[in-house]
Structure formats: C-alpha cells, structure tokens
Structure 1
Amino acid sequence: MKHADYLRQMLAPLGVYRLEGTCNGGELEAVGAALDGCAAALETVEREMLLTTAEGDGLERIEALLARRPVASVLERRRAALAALLRIGGDSFTLSAINDNLAGCGLNAVASETEEPGVVEVRFPEVPGIPDGFAEMRAIIEDILPCHLEIRYVYWYITWAMLQARFQTWGEIESLGLSWSALEKLVR
C-alpha cells in the first residue's frame, strides 16, 4: 500500500477533510510520495547492512574493510567467503578452523599437517593441475595460514595407469587433439 493511501485511510474517519481532487488530496499525495521514497531507502539500507542479505554496496563496503577480496563471484558464495574472512581471528588456527575458512572463502583447497613440524600441505582436491586464478588464491591462503608455517602446494595430474585404463591406444588420445597441459588434467 502506498503511504498516500494509508494517510487517506487514517484521515477519512474524521470526516473533516476533502481528500480527493483538492489541495488536501494533493498534499497527501506529495507527503505520501516522500514517505514512499524514505521507505524504499530504508529498505535498501536494511538489506545492505546485513551480510546475509547484502547484494551490492553492502558487500563492497565489507570487502573494503578486508585486505583481500574473496575469489567467489556468485552472490551466495561471495557472502559465505566474506563471512569466512570476517571469522578469521586469533583462535582461527586449528586445522579444522583453517579448512573452514578456506572453504568459506570460496577456495577449493584443503590444508593438512605433515610429519615435518612447521610444514602444512595445501591440496586442491577437485581441481587437477594448478587451479585457474592460483596467484589470487595463494595470496588468500597465505593470509589465512599462520605466517610461521611453511606452505607446500600439492597438485595432481592424470597418471599413466589412468590413461591406460581409459584409452586402448595412443591413437585414441591423439584423436582428441589435446595439448600436453590439457592431457595432464584429463582426469574425469
């Protein structure tokens, strides 16, 4: 309901005002339009002030507070990534908290401890080879992981055994017309 209609409904029972086709009616329209504008502005502010509902300016303002921007571009994943970046604090250095933050930032990365003290391995389980946008991912990962740890990045590629199981002859592989780097990532 428009605010002008609401104002008319409030004043009608008084019976004192002529609300249609008069100066009073025009004034109610003008005041109602101004109130409609205020309500729309307040609705936008209310939406953008909460991370869970922000869509544009609110997300950009939160991102401006952080050293890194999230990798995710889809709205829901971007919100989750910002929430994860905002969760990083002094108690975020357990392995599960680190992996939660990595996942929340939209990174398909998993950190794991090694037998060697002070060394952490980071894998990209769903992505064969070096992931696209790795430089940006690396910067975010190195911001999340404690600085005293050495980080080893582990990548995976197709093996000869996988190729032999999937193709009968080398001719089948050549018929695909793949480059060597595309062949290395042909794990699916």
Structure 2
Amino acid sequence: MSYRDYLKELLRPLGVYDVEAPFNGGELTAAGEALDGALGALEEVERESSLVTARSWGLEGVAKLLLHRPAAETEEGLSQALAALLRIGDDSFTPGAINDTITGCGVAAECMETGVGRVQVRFPGVVGIPAQIDRLKRIIQEIVPPQVEIAWFYRFLTWAELEEQFPSWADLERAGLNWSQLEMQVLP
C-alpha cells in the first residue's frame, strides 16, 4: 500500500476530510508521494549498508577501502569476498582459515602447508597459468603472512598423460598441436 492510500485510509474515518476531493486528495497525494520517495531512499540505504544485502554502491564503497579489489566477478561473489576479508583476525593464519579467506575472496586457489614457513598455492580446475595471475598473486600474498614462503603450482601436461594420450610420436604428430596446445592436453 502506498503512503497516499495509507493517509487516505487513516483520515477517512475521521470524517473531517473529503479525501476524494481535488484539494484534500491532492494534498494527501503529494504528501504520500513524498513519503514513498523517502521510504524508497531509506530502504536503499538500509540494504546497501550491510554486506549481506548490499548489491551496488554499498559493495563498491567497502571495496574502495581495500588496497586491492577482490577477484570476484559477481555482486554476490564480491559480497562474500568482502565478508571473508573482514573476518581476518589475529587467529586467521591457520591453513584452513587462509584457504577460507582465499576462496571467500573469489580466488579459485588452494593453499597447502608444505613445511615450516612454506606453503604451496594450487589453482584446482585450471590448466596452465590462470588469467590475471599477477592480480591473483597480489591478493594471495596479502592474505598469507609475509614470513611464509609461497611456491606457486600450475597444472600442465605430465609425461604419463602424454604417453597415455599419444602412444607414439606418429600419433602426436597427427594431432597437429603446437607446444602451447600440447601442454594444455591435461586429462581430467
């Protein structure tokens, strides 16, 4: 129900106003439209002030506070990434917490501890070097504590996969692949 209708229904039982008359009705319509506009603006501010419900300028405002924009491509992904970054605290440096933060930031990566002060970062489901790797590295390097050494792992064709797909050099030559195409022939 609009505020115009609400005001008319509120004043009708009093009998003092003829809510359908041009003058009284026009006054109530103008006041109701102003209240509807104010309500719309307040609802937008309320929606955009929470990461759970924000969908436009609220997300962008929070993202501008950060050194690097999260790698998320959708509004929902950006909302989750910002929430993940805001969850980082003094106890957020366990491998599990680092992985939660990395994936929460929209980066499809996995961080595994490989020794004291060492981690390996993989990109599951990605063959070769991921697009925008420099940006992804910057984001991950800001999440992983600075004293931890990061080894980057990229998935390419292995000799075993090559031999399985192309039992002979003739089979390989018939495929007509250049080196870049060949190294991407990873088995699922």
- Output aligned runs, 1:39-188, within 5 Å: 39-115=39-115, 117-167=116-166, 169-174=171-176, 178-187=177-186, 188=188
Alignment coverage as a number of residue pairs: 184
Q: Counterpart of 1:7?
A: 7
What are the superposed Cα offsets for residues 144-187 of structure 1, whole Å, 9 maximum, x if unpaired?
Answer: 0001111111112012321332346114421xxx4422321222
| Aligned equivalents of 2:49, 2:88: Cα separation in 1 | 20
TM-score w.r.t. length of structure 1: 0.92
Q: Report % sequence identity.
A: 50
Q: Name the amino acid aligned to 1:10.
A: L
| Aligned equivalents of 2:181, 2:14: Cα separation in 1 | 79
**Distance 1:179-1:33 versus aligned 2 partners, 3 A rule:** farther
Unaligned runs of 5+ in 2: none
Q: 1:78 offset after TM fit, Å?
A: 1.4
Secondary structure of the residue aligned to 2:111 is strand
Unaligned runs of 5+ in 1: none
Q: Which runs of 4+ in 1 moved over 3 A?
A: none
Task: Calculate the aligned-residue CA RMSD, in Å.
Answer: 1.5
Secondary structure of the residue aligned to 1:47 is helix
Contact 2:129–2:154 at 8 Å: present in 1 too?
yes
What are the superposed Cα offsets for residues 57-84 of structure 1, whole Å, 9 maximum, x if unpaired?
Answer: 0001111121221101112211111111
Contact 2:56–2:75 at 8 Å: present in 1 too?
no
Report the more deviating stretch, 88-97 or 158-167: 158-167
| Aligned equivalents of 2:118, 2:104: Cα separation in 1 | 22
What are the superposed Cα offsets for residues 60-109 of structure 1, whole Å, 9 maximum, x if unpaired?
Answer: 11111212211011122111111111111211101110011011111111
Q: 1:130 offset after TM fit, Å?
A: 1.1
